[in-house]
Amino acid sequence: MQEKIIAHFLNGKLLKGFSEDFSEDKYFFTITHKDTQDKSEVALLLLKAVFFVKDFEGNKVYQEEHGVKRTDVGRKVKIQFKDNETIIGYAPGFSPANIGFFLYPSDSQNNNEKIFVVNANTEKILFL
């Protein structure tokens, strides 16, 4: 199944496209660029996160509601990346021994369906 993804690199670069081979257990995956259809192999350790999105453009004026309580997707967690960006969501499972973990947005109306956070590129993970 092709999934719409936006890969967020540590250097700030974004790569938008589709992936059929992303796995939370592999260090590499392939992105087919949304505009050119070119394929690139991406190393997870070069990313801070992979965003699985509903739409590539999103809604720039949408304000995510962090007060929403979700009981279907794990524990509430605040992630601080090494570039000081923070995100809040729900993690169904977390182990520092893994490559990373999935995070689900607090607000299900968010453009992100889920986010794969790369453990090595976080500064702090705080369970709320």
Average pLDDT of span 11-27: 95
Residue ranges per structural domain of the chain = 3-53+66-127
What average pLDDT does range 87-109 have in this prediction?
A: 90
Percent of the chain with pLDDT over 70: 96
Determine the Cα–Cα distance for residues 48 and 32; give it in Å rounded to an integer.
19
pLDDT at 63 over 80: no
Please tell me the predicted confidence (pLDDT) of residue 66: 64
E-only strand ranges, the chain: 3-9, 14-19, 28-33, 39-43, 47-53, 75-81, 86-91, 100-105, 112-118, 122-127
